[in-house]
A = this chain, B = another copy of it.
């Protein structure tokens, strides 16, 4: 992957609110060059083949029976062998009716999934599940989008089970954590204090902190810092912004403090990290 200026790092917009299902062989060359990010969810199902797929600084070796779950805003790129077979499934928050029950908030549940999962233990991979889904999309007719919503719900629920993602027993609690991560996604560039998020969520900082620790298994402060750090790595790797510009972009007004923050997390200097990313790509 080449380094791109931030403005040239393409963002592919969603196409309406349709759920799209296509064979991977029609999509091995991206519509805009890698690396890029989308404002939609993209599931890449690998049934056979080889290559690599990099999602947010982690390069995965592509092999059969994998699924990649790329969430809006994640930077990714891949290189796949020509004989790679599978499916690409794309959707957005708008692909589901707003008034669906919590059980069916499929996009929220998608966000809880890891970037890559092995499908080996899912019965879907042996059945004709993906084939049925793709055929439904290709021969689109009345009720097709409803049917695709149902197929996608099955897939995401099955993946959730496979991932053994810790699900809060209490739906209200799960809702709160979802609301927090939504809010963080929107504001991490300018708001680093838990107090801000607690106020927005109309809950005490202490209560929010306790719930985040219980559900996500780490302190709230760490969750906020991790989000900033991920974005810093993206900008170091794929943009031409200077370190202090990046710090400013991420709400660190003191360049020295930002440098220390980076060094502590990167383990190497910002310059060294950039060099390595450039070489790797």
Which residues of A come within 8 Å of B, CB atoms? 97, 99-101, 103-104, 123-124, 126-129, 131-132, 135-136, 141-143, 146-147, 150-151, 153-154, 157-158, 160-161
Choose from B103, B104, B129, B161 the contact partner of A132 (Cβ within 8 Å).
B129
Contact A146 B97 (CB under 8 A): no
Q: How far is the CA of A143 from the CA of B157 in the complex (A)?
A: 7
Which B residues are in CB contact (< 8 Å) with A103?
Answer: 97, 146
CA distance A158 to B143 in the complex (A): 8
Quick check: B157 and A147 within 8 Å, CB to CB? yes
A123 CA / B139 CA spacing, docked (Å): 11
Measured between alpha carbons, how far is A258 from B135 in the docked complex, in Å?
53
The answer for the CA separation of A275 and B99 in the assembled complex, in Å, is 55
Q: How far is the CB of A142 from chain B (nearest CB, A)?
A: 6
A127 to B127, CA, bound (A): 8
B146–A161 contact, CB under 8 A? no
Q: Which of B99, B151, B157, B160 contacts A154 (CB 8 A)?
A: B151
Residues of B within 8 Å of A160, CB to CB, are 143
- Distance in angstroms from A268 CB to nearest chain B CB is 42
A123-B132, A127-B127, A146-B153 known; 4 other A-B pairs, CB under 8 Å? Answer: A127-B128, A127-B129, A128-B129, A143-B160
Q: Are A101 and B104 in contact (CB under 8 A)?
A: no
Query: Quick one: given A101-B97, A151-B150, are A141 and B161 in contact (CB under 8 Å)?
Result: yes
What are the residues of chain B within 8 A of A101 when measuring CB–CB?
97, 99-100
| Given A97-B101, A97-B103, A146 and B157 contact (CB-CB distance below 8 Å) | yes
Nearest CB in chain B to that of A128: its residue: B127
Q: A245 vs B38: C-alpha distance in the bound complex, in angstroms?
A: 70
Other-chain residue from B129, B143, B151, B154 in contact with A161 (beta carbon distance below 8 A): B143
A127: nearest residue on chain B (CB-CB)? B128
25 A–B contacts, CB within 8 A, in A order: A97-B101, A97-B103, A99-B99, A100-B101, A103-B146, A104-B146, A123-B132, A123-B135, A124-B132, A126-B128, A127-B128, A127-B129, A128-B128, A128-B129, A142-B161, A143-B160, A143-B161, A146-B153, A146-B157, A147-B153, A147-B154, A147-B158, A150-B151, A150-B153, A151-B154
